[in-house]
Structure 1
């Protein structure tokens, strides 16, 4: 297991107890980050409400001109699907307008040029003899709002670089897909394919020939109100929502401000956008941007760590879908940030180690936001919660425990465990099938009269969370912890376990009962003394030295 960057695998925590990361404006060049901060301050919104749409705008400017070469057979485009979650009145539109002003200005210039060329064309072809000798001008598009898939396909067919689709309310857009269709529904299929730039054909009414898009490139951005999140899901598990990255900012109190965006910041961002729009568009295929050696080495480590997150026992089942897409977003964010940097600095196109680090910081932000959004869309799975509690328990007792099922049932602290020990064993076996790092086994031993046992093991170093000794327990604390575990037969008076085993396990369970996060149980001498005394008393009872 490759853990060069972080030797620990954290035990999963309850989602509602996790602190959310702030939007990292520092992943952008300094002048771009300044624009985000100034635009947010002038609108009185969190910076992510400007930063995320600006990121999508940059991605759409790159469009089909570039892909990142992860390896020879794996290329990722710059395509981003993103959504901001917020109530009406939180200034989603004003913030987005400031981020998209460069896209809109570009579209205005293209329309102006088109009208000029159109007028000239009509003048030149007024003589019908010249009508077939001149090519009719076409309006170049960079921004699309309200359109059907058929209409968008026509736009993409004439704009190979791609476009940005901006919808004020994504919820209505998603719900309207296939509203008048039966069967699989071509609209959702189109958007599923477009996310990967996969070939897609769209049939047109009254036309014999379909529109065939070799590599449709379209990025999407819009807003969703929190109260309709559950409607957006609508029971569909086709992976469309999993393709979105989210920002769900905290509300801000809106007050008057004299803050404004400086001309220098506006011009700096405009230059970056125009440079990205000007990247060469290869007729024979998308141009790959490649890693340098150090950047590729780091990317592989981060990729593996992302995979390991999904393998940690208790990883929420509902997050498996979006996490599988975030795997691709690590590459896509790396590509976009790298090209933003090179366009800003005027340096060669190459993925450098700093690009990968910044992309991972940004990905961590989107992971937090995805947890928050999916937490509101989906109910918590009790099996996931039980798995988290089991991980904490087995980690606390040293990474492995093999005891009677009733014993484990008694000492395990969880609001999600079933009412009987045999049901717990069944649930643990099901959890183990989901989680590669959790191993569950059970059976009976012949040498103790068919005594039943249950074994739970955390593999691949999951239990090796950083050891923290903490303050030694006082005698009162140790006694309290012992009282909490009093009815669990810790001393095992049948003599089947060694004194060392019983003392260590019992001490760990005392610490577990007290919620003390530590793996250095030997420093807690008071708890050790209690367990040694309890074992010695049980031995005397077993040998008949002390009356029962």
Structure 2
């Protein structure tokens, strides 16, 4: 752009700001921008220094606007995820789920905290006695090993929530220790007595047998101690740390900080063999099962995760739960009685350790659902641009199979039945729902804590702070949130507007009087039109579909018939359809679309050549698992539609990710 062209541009636009923006847009190299600013300086009455300063300010504004758009996109999905609640009645036997819910309400705390802790606690009592075989020819199996963690700030009842689940294990540990103490006393007496006796008539001396202490859990152990305890208790045990940071700090503490404790711990997650040869000991376990659980604060987790790249995949192995917790108001004047959770858990733990050793298989229906889900996880991993999250998808795949195994065994024991050798499709469907929930928990943590998350992370912090204290101003946010203290007040107000635009709050006043008012949680669900539970939000295409809008019966029959023909070769057509997506410039939400496709409000047409029916069914399943409410298929021949109940931007974006081609028309 020459000086004459710049002068002509000025005459046409009459704004030096627009001219400098034109320079920034036309030239990427800094040297080219400098030359263009010099030419503009000669063609105008502005000095080069003035134009350079303006260019720097405009560059910052452009970056902020870009971050604002990205933050808006990410916040709409992630804030909704924070509002998702697990319906324990769907995943546990009703009587036991009710006991869990009553206990959580009485504390009060998030029921998800109790459930997440129970995953590890119950798994530790089954341990090496069970594994699920996914593909025998590939020797693809998954053990009963869970690493779970509660993520919440201090005062959020995370420790009490874990204790109500773990206290019955502690009681069993205490009883076992007392038995061991008596047995050791008898052993020592027998050894002492033997020394004072002569050999018996056979000439052989009977040696007392050293008692072995039965273990349930440990709280403070080095890697070597864990290996020794596991060798004495081959079925496995639970490693619990109230403050999860202690798991990191205890590594290599007797090696001057040099050692391979972390690598050995990561190997334990896959349940591999433990083979140790030292001068003082030798251990050989064909399988291992050390489950873990604990709690951690947001900021501590952020410091430990650092840049969140998770190079060795250590953090991706954890099932995080960062559920919203209710206000800690106690109700002391109401009728109060023991919920019976401790007794129920004691019976459950004792029954689980009696489950016989067995390998479990997947039914045809369970294989079909797992295959489609696994393919979509692979596709999502390939499209993920965050390294730390790329490592999460394979671990979520593994946890899907483990969750199916856990649900299968635990619920059978709660029914006082012996677990069948085959895991059903209904159980796999529920496992996929839970896996999707924990996948989004990972995304929430990365967005909240990662240094690369930008304005989206700050937006989440603003929402959480406002929900805790009520309506807030920009100055109140700056004083209450450390990450905002160096941010311009105008930028904070823009973030407040962004949150209001998502439907999770409202703006009152203007300028210095602007106040952000968060919408209460129950009303947020109504504004969001999102279902009240994860069971409805993350539904799958299976015969056990429980929440379908519209013509529920016909929708089920059509979707079930499609699921019967799901093919594993659908990924190529899905990639081809996704590559044809473009964007409508200037549309309100810039929805992805294809100009040859017609979008009716509330339904998306599937182009005739974009996919086969089996691939369509896989995409519908993917939408359900990501939290998109997709309803029945309609139409026939070359005009096939998918009905969806909530035609919002996040829904259409996820449908586009699944391979659909929704376009938009003004109504």
TM-score normalised to structure 1 length: 0.65
What secondary structure does 2:211 align onto?
A: coil
8 Å Cα contact 2:271-2:289 kept in structure 1? yes
Residue 76 (1) aligns with residue 154 (2) = no
Out of 174, 177, 197, the position equivalent to 2:251 is 177
Structure-1 residue corresponding to 2:401? 331
Q: Contact conserved, 2:581 with 2:594, CA < 8 A, in 1?
A: no
Contact 1:143–1:166 (8 Å) recurs in 2: yes
How much does 1:374 deviate? 1.6
**Residues of 2 paired with 1:161 and 1:464: CA distance?**
56
Give the superposition deviation at 1:269: 3.4
Question: Cα deviations across residues 371-400 of structure 1 (Å, max 9, x unaligned)?
Answer: 111223323479x9xxxxxxxxxxxxxxxx
Distance 1:23 1:237, change over 3 A: same
Offset, 1:182:
7.6
Distance in structure 2 (CA, Å) of the matches to 1:154 and 1:306? 37
Unaligned runs of 5+ in 1: 1-11, 282-286, 385-434, 440-454, 472-514, 526-548
The reply on whether 1:299 has 2:370 as its aligned counterpart is yes
8 Å Cα contact 1:121-1:136 kept in structure 2: yes
Distance 1:456 1:38, change over 3 A: closer
Contact 2:384 / 2:390 at 8 angstroms: preserved in 1?
Answer: no
The one-character-per-residue Cα deviations of 1:218-274 (angstroms, maximum 9, x if unpaired) are 000011111112221246521111100100122431112247564555444333222
Q: Count matched residues.
A: 397
2:411 is aligned with 1:341:
yes
Q: Does 1:145 align with 2:219?
A: yes
Per-residue CA deviation, residues 11-65 of structure 1 (Å, 9 max, x unaligned), is x993321111212312111122112212211211111121111121111111111
Alignment counterpart, residue 360 of structure 1, candidates 417, 422, 432: 432
1:94 is matched with which residue: 127, 149, 160?
A: 160
Alignment partner, residue 111 of structure 2:
47
1:296, CA displacement in angstroms? 2.3
Q: Is the 8 A contact 1:292 1:351 kept in 2?
A: yes
Maintained 8 Å contact 1:24/1:362: no
* Aligned alpha-carbon RMSD (Å): 3.6
Hey, what's the Cα distance between the residues in 2 that align with 1:227 and 1:171?
A: 11
| Counterpart position of 1:14 | 73
> Distance between the aligned counterparts of 1:216 and 1:193, measured in 2?
9
Looking at structure 2, the residues matched to 106 and 303 of structure 1 have their Cα atoms a distance apart, in angstroms, of 39
Q: Is the 8 A contact 2:222 2:250 kept in 1?
A: no
Where does residue 176 of structure 2 map in the other structure?
A: 110
**In 1: Cα distance, 2:662 partner to 2:319 partner:** 41
Kept in 1, the 8 Å contact 2:227–2:274? The answer is: no
Shift of 1:97: 0.8
Whether 1:275 and 2:275 are equivalent positions in the alignment is no
Q: Secondary structure at the match of 2:291?
A: strand
Distance in 1 (alpha carbons) for counterparts of 2:662 and 2:288 = 57
Query: Aligned equivalents of 1:330 and 1:66: distance in 2?
Result: 15
Query: Relative to 1, partners in 2 of residues 1:111 and 1:71: Cα closer, same or farther, differing over 3 Å?
Result: same
Q: Show the counterpart of 2:536.
A: none
Secondary structure class of the residue paired with 1:127? helix
For 2:214 and 2:165, how far apart are their aligned partners in 1? Answer: 21
Separation (CA, whole Å) in 1 of partners of 2:442 and 2:349: 27
Residue 62 of structure 1, aligned match among 126, 132, 143: 126
Deviation at 1:464, TM superposition (A): 8.2
Q: Secondary structure at the match of 1:89?
A: coil
Match of 1:226 in 2: 298
Change (3 A) 1:438 1:106: same
Per-residue deviation, residues 419-453 of structure 1 (Å, max 9, x unmatched): xxxxxxxxxxxxxxxx99778xxxxxxxxxxxxxx
Report if aligned partners of 1:31, 1:268 keep a CA contact under 8 Å in 2. no
Unaligned runs of 5+ in 2: 1-70, 198-204, 457-571, 583-591, 603-650
Deviation at 1:124, TM superposition (A): 2.9
Tell me by how many angstroms 1:154 deviates: 0.9
- Distance change in 2, residues 1:522/1:334 (3 Å): closer
CA shift, 1:176, in A, is: 4.0
**Structure 1 residues 260 and 113, CA gap change in structure 2 (3 angstroms):** farther
Deviation at 1:342, TM superposition (A): 1.1
Corresponding residue for residue 389 of structure 2: 319
Alignment check: 8 A CA contact 1:63 1:163 kept: yes
Helix, strand or coil for the counterpart of 1:290? strand
SS of residue in 2 equivalent to 1:14: helix
The question of whether the paired residues in 2 share the 8 Å contact of 1:141 and 1:163 is answered with yes
